[in-house]
Amino acid sequence: MVLQYVMMAAKEELYTKVTPRRQRQNRSGTVKHGSSLDVLLSMGFPKTRALKALVSTGGKNVQAACDWLFSHVDDPFLDDPLPREYVLYLRPSGPLLHQLSTFWQQSRVTCGKNKAHNIFPHITLCQFFMCADGKVEALSEALQATVGSWRGRFPNPLPLELYTSSNFIGLFVEEQVAEVLKDFAADFATEAATKADVHVEPHKKQLHVTLAYHFQTNHLAALEKLAKGVDVSLGCDWLAVLFSRDIRFANHETLRVMYPYVPQNEDELELAPGDFIFMTPVEQGSASEGWVFGTSLGTGLPGLLPENYVRRADECDTWVFHGNPASPSNTGGAVGGLLFDGQLDGSFLDDPGDPSSLTVLCPPVQMLRPTTQSCLPKRSLFVCRHGERMDVVFGKHWITQCFDAKGRYVRSNLNMPSSLPTRSGGFRDYDKDCPITVFGSTQARLVGEALLESQAVIDFVYCSPSLRCVQTAHNILRGLQQEGKTKIRIEPGLFEWTKWVSGTSLPAWIPPTDMAAASLSVDTTYRPHIPISKLGVSESYDAYISRSFQVTREILTECKNLGNTVLIVAHASSLEACTRQMQGLSPQNAKDFVQVVRKIPYLGFCAAEEMGETGVWQLVDPPILPLTHGPNHSFNWRETLQQD
């Protein structure tokens, strides 16, 4: 904290010493990149660091470069001259991009994520190549010069043909036209060698837009059917785009930070939501008790971090876009943009906007852009685990300790609720359907209060029939000050994997009418999507995952146009089972699934948002902080203090 304060003070002092100066311009009046470098040098930054900051932020502006430098002040590789890797793509825009967007969305929902989803739609024009930081501006100018000399010489529209195989689906460029594109790439390679002294190897294989690859064999027919729906005859702006990545992490797994974490020990890494973590396959596979080792993109620092605070990201999420503001034909230039903020995580599903904001190779044909954009609020889904349960804290025999021979309940510990609902089947039914503790109720209320503070409004609450879940949902509503205003819809389809239920029968849950009679905010008129009669004991893993996906999808469909925020209160397994396939991802295997579930604490909370009105959802940062509650053993003063 002291270091952060000192750095901020130093940052402000440096800014006060900078005298505004006239920016250097070229003949077209466009600001040259060098002016940003001059400002950074005048602030006292070494040239190598200043160049690295500008390149790492896509030459965005001085502010972005300064922010990068101050966040990387302890980066052990800050002064390492290692160059970045670059690649040149053709990226579609306009109506064709909308067609590809539809395919991407439908394929993820239908068949789950495959390798093609790791990078936005593109045609590869060259292999990855290295360029020193000091030559990046010249490299961008080489691209601009090449585009200027080729403008108007491209076939229009670009002819694409669908090709499928057992593990690949793509749109291939017609051979003669592909040779034209390869000539363009060769000219860029020549310009790059002349202007930037950089060796670029043009792509020699067949040019294509990859639609899907490395998918399950049984998904081929469905993916091929969706691919045939892509209308390649629609108009398209093809944009020449230059991206870079940190060569140190080229073969690393990229993970996105979902929750903040403050280090408790010197070897731990501070986590900020939105940052990315790089991790080798060896590091990821050597997780010990939920902790892994990785390196932060935001700070460059390595360290240990809790594994359940991150999730897998796409390959291109950390790439940096590079562009030179100069444009040969006055159509505007490429505007650099840092992808560290996650702009490309699904952003390729939207039209990039004005084609003049990037280097346009082909003029638009039949530009069918929507004239208006939807201003509807995003739909949100919250999934939450129940609170601390009685049988875990006090053991399986808590019932015999708290109920007398006549079935009357008397608590024996302050963490036990003062009263319990009466069960028509007798108190023995609590054996499989336990309540939450007093602390469990407090945990739930804290979550509700945090949601209220974040100004979240819950439109619908759906809940597993387990008493511990209903009580949790009720107390969340209390914290939200929505108790009595929002009713809990009890949905048996949200119950956990029945394989985990002991014995040969399901729990005898309390009917909604009895719960309402016990002053729980339950909707007694709700008709569930999956009734109790459809649940069976010892269901397969696939059946549980399918059930969870089905009921979540039906719940969201039921609430569409009636409210924007749905809260599901269920079990630890629900956070994974109710959200994974909604993101278009394939289910994990049972072993990995169990490992994820083990890491989810009481009141574990996740959030997802719908991407437009696509039916595809993505996990986002929850509106509340995580809740940590350490176990506290029962204290008996006689046994501990009164010793002979």
pLDDT in tens, 44-70: 899 999 999 999 998 878 888 898 999
Annotated catalytic residue 386: yes
Looking at this protein, which amino acid is placed at residue 139?
L
User: Does residue 624 surpass a pLDDT of 60?
Assistant: yes
User: What pLDDT, in 10s, does the model give residues 532-555?
Assistant: 999 999 899 999 999 999 999 999
Contact at 8 Å (CB) between 94 and 124? Answer: no
Q: Cβ contacts of residue 344 below 8 Å, gap of 6+? A: 120, 314, 316, 317, 319
Q: What's the rounded Cα separation, in Å, for the pair 643 and 46? A: 68
Looking at this protein, which amino acid is placed at residue 636?
N
User: What pLDDT, in 10s, does the model give residues 355-399?
Assistant: 333 444 443 333 233 333 334 467 999 999 999 999 999 998 899
Q: What's the rounded Cα separation, in Å, for the pair 52 and 133? A: 6
CA angle 182, 184, 188 (to 5 degrees): 115
Nearest-10 Cα torsion for 180, 186, 192, 194: -120
Where do runs of H (alpha helix) occur along 246-354?
A: 281-285
State the DSSP H helix or E strand holding residue 67, giving kind and residue range, or none if neither.
Answer: helix 62-71
Residue 634: what pLDDT? 57
End-to-end CA distance of the chain: 48
In this prediction, residue 528 has a pLDDT band, given cuts at 50, 70 and 90, of very high
Cβ-based neighbour number of residue 144 at 10 Å: 21
Residue 323: what pLDDT? 65
Asked which of 151-165, 188-202, 249-263, 382-396 is least confident by mean pLDDT, the reply is: 151-165
DSSP codes of every residue in 436-481: B-HHHHHHHHHHHHHHHHTT----EEEE-SSHHHHHHHHHHHHHHT
Q: What's the rounded Cα separation, in Å, for the pair 259 and 274? A: 9
Contact at 8 Å (CB) between 587 and 552? Answer: no
Q: What's the rounded Cα separation, in Å, for the pair 468 and 212? A: 43
Q: Which of 392, 420, 418 is nearest to 407 (CA)?
A: 420
User: Does residue 635 surpass a pLDDT of 50?
Assistant: yes
User: Does residue 637 surpass a pLDDT of 70?
Assistant: no
Mean pLDDT over residues 126-132, rounded? 94
Residue 324: what pLDDT? 44
Q: What's the rounded Cα separation, in Å, for the pair 286 and 270? A: 20
Mean pLDDT over residues 431-438, rounded? 95
In this prediction, residue 104 has a pLDDT band, given cuts at 50, 70 and 90, of confident
Set 84, 245, 322, 386: catalytic member: 386
Annotated catalytic residue 385: yes
Pairing of strands 208-213, 380-385: unpaired
Residue 17: what pLDDT? 35
> Half-sphere exposure (CA, 13 Å, Cβ side) for 115?
9
State phi, psi for 515 to the nearest 5 degrees. -65, -40
Looking at this protein, which amino acid is placed at residue 619?
L
The tokens describing 354, both together, are 């004005």
Where do runs of H (alpha helix) occur along 493-540?
A: 512-517
Set 108, 385, 445, 489: catalytic member: 385
33 vs 309, higher pLDDT? 309
CA distances from 383 to 507, 595, 622, 627 (A): 22, 18, 10, 14
Q: Cβ contacts of residue 190 below 8 Å, gap of 6+? A: none
Residue 613: what pLDDT? 63
Q: Which of 455, 370, 382, 321 is nearest to 622 (CA)?
A: 382
> Half-sphere exposure (CA, 13 Å, Cβ side) for 547?
25
Annotated catalytic residue 153: no
The predicted model scores a pTM of 0.53
Mean pLDDT over residues 304-309, rounded? 90
Set 33, 208, 423, 571: catalytic member: 571
